[in-house]
Structure formats: C-alpha cells, structure tokens
Amino acid sequence: MHITIVTIGSRGDVEPYLALGKGLLLAGHTVRLSTHDRFRPEIREAGLEFSPITGDPRQLVEDEAGKRWLESGRNPVRIMRRLLDVSGPFFSQLLQDCETAMAGTGAVLFSVLAFPAYHLAEASRIPAVAAYLQPMTRTRELPSMFVKAGGPGFWNLWSHVAAEQITWQPLRREVNRWRRSLGLGPLPVSGLYRPVYRSMPVLYGFSPAVVPPPTDWPALVKVTGYWFPAVGDNRRPPERVTQFLDDGPAPVYVGFGSRPERRPQELADLVLAAVRQAGRRAILLTGWGGLTVPDSSDDVLVVDEIRHDWLFPQMSAVVHHGGAGTTGTALQSGIPSIVVPSFADQFFWGERVAALGVGLNLPRRKLIPESLAGAITATSDPAMGRRAVDLGVKLRAENGVRRAVDELTSIFNL
C-alpha cells in the first residue's frame, strides 16, 4: 500500500514520523513523507519518497511573528492568533503542497498542524489516520494540555471543548471555503469532533507508561508507545565530544530546542552560572536559539547539533524545553530530566515528568541561576534516579513503531 505521512514543524516534529515511515517501509509499504525541504536528505536516505511542504521552519520562527508565536506560553488564544500571523502568508501554498503530496496515495497519516491532509483524504475517499505526538482526544479524566490543573469530570471535558473551539473558529471560514472547492460540504460551527473524531482512528506516539490512556477514550484511539528508530543512525559523534565525556564525570546536558532567543547571551550566562554553582560539567547545545559561550572550557562544551539518543544516556541529567520528541528521548535514556517549558504542550510534558517522579518541572518564568542550580542538584536524589532508570527500561522494551504498524495493518485491513 502507498501511504503518505504529512508533518509540519522542527526536527522534533519530523523524526518520530521518519521512524514510523521506516517501520511501514520494512512492513512492505511504499511510504512518502511530506515535510520541509531541510529534511529531504535524511528522508531520501531512509528509502522514503519525499514531497516538500512550503517554508523553512527555522526561518519562520526566527522572524518577529515566529518569535511572538513561540512566546505565547500556554494560552491557546494567543497561540492560535499568532500562529495565523505566522502561517497566513503561505497557507494557500500549504494546501497546494498537501494536495501534491497526496496525489496517487492510498492512505494518509497526519500530525496536528498538518490537518489539511484530513480534508484532502475525505475528498479523495481514502483512509485518514491522525498520528499525534500530544494527547488531543476529549476525556473526563484529564484536562486539556492547555490547562494547568484538572478538576471534576465536567471541567476536564469542558477544557477540551474550549480548546477545540479556540483552534477551530479562527480557521472555520477559510477551511470551509476550501472544502467547498474540493466538492465537500462545510463542517459545522461546532467543529470537527462529531463528524470526524468519533469515527477516525487516532494513533498516539507516546508511551502509556507516561500518559496512561483514559478509560473513556474511544476504541479507535490507540497509544502505541514512542516512535523511536529501531537502531541508531550511522552518524559518528564528534571526537571532541567523546573526549570531553572521557575526561571527567558525566555532565549535564542543556538545550532548549528550536525556540529562537531574544537574549541568547543572557540565557547562556544563566546556564553557565547554574551548572558551575551546582558543581557540574555541562554540554550546551546552541540550538536555534544561538546559545553560546566565548570558548568551550574544561567544564563546559558547546555543540551545534548532536544525536540525543546517543548523548542522553551518558549524561547525569538532561535540561530541555519539553518538546514531545525530546521528552520521550530523555525518558527513554533513563536519566532524570529538568523540563523548562515555555510554549504549548511543553508545559504538559514538564508536568508529566514531575508527576512520574523522574525529574523536575521548572517553567521558564522561574528560570534563574539559583533555581536551575537547585534543580540540577536535586537530580542526584537516588530515588529519582531509580525511578528514571526503571521508566527508561520500560520504554526501551516497548516498540511503538511496531505497535503502530500493527494497528495500521488492522485499520487498513491489510
């Protein structure tokens, strides 16, 4: 079967789908991965077809509109309004790119931001499966990921309904106009839930050990486990990294993902002060934020890019932004995490890490040298370390890609 996967975003939004695509390829399917052009080489190297999606995610978030979007915190109204500012100029091209990517395919999987793929699948009368990295399905047992604290069942359910409406209403007219051009009827004011999500399969690429599936989720919703590569790639780590690891005790990793920083030097100075106050060595990832120090030294090594799955197990702790993919890799490594969330679902993952007792949640607004140093020191707690190790063992025993492929085989009646 020819299957198209459509995803939009940074590396953390692409690598899980690349792993899933490899699993489908090994199962005998032809797989096309549609995303941004900067990921074309590794997608083609993996043996998958590639179809480009407009826009370079790094350039988009480095523009002023992109920076403002990533500074929206957890507020879904701000997130959606600023997302429209970012995506508005190329939304029409995005629709065309999705249409091109799905030409001749037999089924489609799509990420949260790649929602146009659903409407095209409906128009083409081919199966569509939501393949998400964040929990989006209504439940009475957990609040929406945009809400800090849960409550009674009716409150949790209402938080999901409110989040759905906040994300649907700004897009409703444009999406329904496009649906009419595809020969489809408009979706109701209430949005996608009743006509779509009650009948469409949903695969979640995270572990049930991290987010236990609520008992009121429909049977079509499956939590498969993380979509990690079956084996590591062949990229060799830089010799200076391996040398640094050999020269002393396990360091702390610090990296904040794809968020561009308005004051990168200030943040880098904060991190350096914290790790030295905690008496640790550190590997600092510059990332898209441009974090750097004048020179690497005996206790701090600065790197531009490095494989997380190789590096994290060799750390004493991992300080990261709480992106879904980075969080999964950190948990799988069996090392305590310090999550410093600042945007959207990152807060949810930070809270899950803290609730599981395998790390700490330190929101960006509370980040100062003393708080980060204290959190780094706290990761030395033996009980936290044991819980992190035990969870890592459990996650490494799962095979989320294989489970997802098995579920898709059942869904598509293959």
Q: What is the pLDDT of residue 255?
A: 93
Among residues of the chain, what percentage have pLDDT more than 70? 96
DSSP string, 190-222: T-SIIIIITTS-EEE-S-TTTSPPPTTS-TTEE
Superfamily of structural domain 239-397 = Glycogen Phosphorylase B; (3.40.50.2000)
Q: Which phi and psi (to 5°) does residue 228 adopt?
A: -95, 155
Listed by start position, the domains of the chain span 2-230+399-411, 239-397
**239-397 has the same fold as 2-230+399-411:** yes
Q: What is the pLDDT of residue 382?
A: 97
* Among the four given CATH numbers 3.30.70.100, 3.40.50.720, 3.40.50.2000, 3.55.40.20, the one describing domain 2-230+399-411: 3.40.50.2000
Q: How far apart are the first and last CA of the chain?
A: 8
Query: In whole angstroms, what is the distance from residue 334 CA to residue 388 CA?
Result: 5
DSSP run (H or E) holding 338: strand 337-339
Q: What is the mean pLDDT of the chain?
A: 90
Q: What is the pLDDT of residue 5?
A: 98
Q: Which residues contact 399 (CB under 8 A, 6 or more apart)?
A: 225, 230
pLDDT digits (tens, 9 = 90+) for 256-296: 987 778 888 899 899 999 999 999 999 999 877 677 776 55
Split at pLDDT 50, 70, 90, the class of 353 is very high
Q: Where are the alpha helices (DSSP H) in 125-208?
A: 153-181
pLDDT digits (tens, 9 = 90+) for 200-250: 899 999 999 999 999 999 999 999 999 998 655 566 788 899 999 999 999
Split at pLDDT 50, 70, 90, the class of 197 is low
Angle, CA of 341, 319 and 308, to the nearest 5°? 110
- pLDDT of 405 above 80: yes
Query: In whole angstroms, what is the distance from residue 328 CA to residue 228 CA?
Result: 9
SS3 readout for 8-34: CCCHHHCHHHHHHHHHHHHCCCEEEEE
Q: What is the pLDDT of residue 11?
A: 86
Map tokens 């839930």 to a residue.
193
Query: In whole angstroms, what is the distance from residue 127 CA to residue 130 CA?
Result: 10
